[in-house]
Amino acid sequence: MSIEPKKKKINLSVEIAGIQFQNPVLTASGTFGYGMEYTDFIDLNLLGGIVVKGLSIKPSHGNSPPRMVETASGMLNAIGLQNIGVEVFINEKLPLLKKFNANIIVNFFGDTQDEYVLAAERLNDITEIAALEMNISCPNVEKGGMTFGTEPKITEELVRKVRKVTSSPLIVKLSPNVTDIVVMAKAAVNGGADALSIINTLLGMAIDIKTRCPMLANVTGGLSGPAIKPVALRMVWQVAKAVDIPIIGIGGIMNAQDALEFIIAGATAVQVGTANFIDPSISVKIIEGIKNYCQKDKIGDIKDLIGTLRS
Amino acid sequence: MFVTIVENNEISAGYFRLAIHSPELAENTKPGQFIMMKVGDNYDPLLRRPMGIHKISNKDNNPCVELLYQVVGKGTSMMSKMKKGQQVDVLGPFGNGFAIPQNIKIAVFVAGGVGIAPLAMLAEKMVKDATDLKTYLFIGGKSKNDVLCLDDFEKLNTKICIATENGSLGNQGLVTNSVSKFIDQKANGQASFFACGPYQMLKAVSELTAKKNIPCQVSLDRRMACGFGACLGCVVKVTQGNHGSYKNVCTDGPVFDANEICW
């Protein structure tokens, strides 16, 4: 009796800080709103995870416009962490979002160390929230923000403070605007991080030569998109060699090939950011693309691909 | 979704009318809404371009939507080279569109340059749906080359007032000078204003109408990354709002009550 050759089932699930993800593709904070903005375009159930727009303990208006400008193969933004605040998120957005299979990860930040602690406390022990992602790396806010992510001592101290008040898995999102990303990664690990998101946007600017004015009201902004992918990939690779906790790779991922590069460099999962703006269904296409690659290369389990860079 | 270009013609130096075949968009688009168009198929330019819908039409029995655009940068320059028959990737329709007041008796349209685009569709719909509607168009541009779509309004028996900065057509000066005179002399509570054009023009019209408590809707043009409310890049400062002092031009607009905007 002959047996039909079966398509082997690919295991795309990964584990980060004790949480199971059905696949390694998440959407990046600040590019995916609070999730519901995308329900017209994709089935959120298919995503590995959704990282919501960065929240602070109090709502924030964000920066004056103009807030975004396109650059070569990328974009600069200086949104300034406009958000509805932790409380409104929990009461109004989370009930809608929790109906989906995707893990919900809440990105949060503060203007002061105390505000980080307050936000983490309020978000602690909410069963629908799979993990917290601590933003110590936003380049677009005056106080705090990136400075928390550029001084290793402050990073370690702040992560430790937040660690103490939350039992949720704690992911720390690192800034690329540092001399040595490995130093910052180790500081976050020492503070008690369970995982690292690498990288946030690169600080940049653009000028209108007709008016000689900056293109952004904030003058500088965070560069994202395919322009930053090589930098992000290099940083993920460097950190993956140096620390033992899982890394979520972020930076200019536009398709499955980009995502696979990050996984081979050592990322356990990836976040798709700017690409969502151009094709709001891209994350699902990337999941399919990863599956096809595994099928073709006879990789039965995506975990077998993580950090397999050959010399 | 991918749609086919059925026409892309230069109608005045630097201004193009592009028609795409799409029964879906033709069926579902309201005046004042926009689509997000991918220009080129690589990463530069990276983002889609927000393009206001100019008209809904029928070409050889194909339901189409038309865009009217001015070549101002890399994206629109690439658009101007797109050919009939070419496929183009669009999302939409997005945005709120104009709110058409019930039993409106006098509609006044104010357009600056390519700002005429959404007003042409709005005027056509309003005239079609209303009985006994009087329409006025105040249209301005740098020169006569920038004054577009007059024939669309002539068809509607609209009273047209033209102003150009160099005096090559109509009155010399800004269109808002003519609007100001009109408001002083003729406009009253029965009139509603609908404006689209440069920011300074919209601001001036907003101030003129506010003085006499005349309702005025403005359609804003902003750089956008997504077009559907996720990026928060296109915001405008408003006098009050649910989520703070900014509103999204893409999802809360692009059409706003003029008195809602912090000019």
pLDDT tens, position by position, A160-216: 999 999 999 999 999 999 999 999 999 999 999 999 999 999 999 999 999 999 999
Minimum-distance CB partner of A68 among B45, B231, B237:
B231
Q: In which residue ranges of chain B is CATH 3.40.50.80 found?
A: 106-219
Inter-chain CB proximity B234 and A274 less than 8 Å: no
pTM for the whole structure: 0.94
Residue found under tokens 């655009």: B69
A294: annotated active-site residue: no
Interface predicted TM-score (ipTM): 0.94
One of 3.20.20.100, 3.30.9.10, 3.20.20.70, 3.30.1390.20 is the CATH number of A14-304, namely 3.20.20.70
Res A2: pLDDT = 57
Tokens of B218: 């403005």
Neighbours of B52 (CB within 10 A): 23
CA distance B110 to B116: 8
Q: List chain B residues with pLDDT less than 70.
A: 187-188, 241-244
Q: In which residue ranges of chain B is CATH 2.40.30.10 found?
A: 2-94
The 10s digit of each residue's pLDDT in B167-214 is: 999 999 999 999 999 998 876 678 999 999 999 999 999 999 999 999
Inter-chain CB proximity B43 and A68 less than 8 Å: no
To the question of domain B106-219 being in CATH 3.30.70.20, the answer is: no
Minimum-distance CB partner of A82 among B226, B228, B232:
B232
Tokens of A121: 């406390």
Select from A38, A53, A58, A67 the residue whose CB has the most chain B CBs within 10 Å, as the one to mutate to test that interface. Answer: A67
* Helix, strand and coil percent figures for chain A, each rounded to 5: 35, 25, 40
Inter-chain CB proximity A59 and B225 less than 8 Å: no
* Mean pLDDT value across chain A: 94
Select from A41, A278, A282 the residue whose CB has the most chain B CBs within 10 Å, as the one to mutate to test that interface. Answer: A278
Q: What are phi and psi of A231, to 5 degrees?
A: -65, -45
The 10s digit of each residue's pLDDT in A122-176 is: 999 899 999 999 999 766 555 555 578 888 999 999 999 999 999 999 999 999 9
CATH node for B2-94: 2.40.30.10
The residue type found at A31 is T
Going from N- to C-terminal start, the domains of chain A cover 14-304
Inter-chain CB proximity A77 and B225 less than 8 Å: yes
CA distance A128 to B90: 35
Inter-chain CB proximity A67 and B235 less than 8 Å: yes
The number of residues in chain B equals 263
Q: Please report how many Cα atoms fall inside a 13 Å half-sphere around the Cα of residue A256, on the Cβ side.
A: 13
If interface means Cβ-Cβ distance under 8 Å, which residues of chain A face chain B? 30-33, 37-38, 40-41, 53, 59-62, 64-70, 72-75, 77, 79, 82, 84, 225-227, 254, 274, 276-278, 280
Minimum-distance CB partner of A33 among B38, B222, B230:
B230
Q: What is the mean pLDDT of residues A9-34?
A: 97
Query: What's chain B look like in SS3?
Result: CEEEEEEEEEEECCEEEEEEECHHHHHHCCCCCEEEECCCCCCCCCCCEEEEEEEEEEECCEEEEEEEEECCCHHHHHHHCCCCCCEEEEEEEECCCCCCCCCCCEEEEEEEHHHHHHHHHHHHHHHHHCCCCEEEEEEEECCHHHCCCHHHHHCCCCEEEEEECCCCCCEECCHHHHHHHHHHHCCCCCEEEEEECCHHHHHHHHHHHHHCCCCEEEECCCCCCCCCCCCCCCCEEECCCCCCCEECCCCCCCEEEHHHECC
Contacts of A179 (CB under 8 A, 6+ apart): none
Inter-chain CB proximity B47 and A70 less than 8 Å: yes
From A12, A123, A138, A287, active-site residue: A138
Does the pLDDT value for residue A6 go beyond 90?
A: no
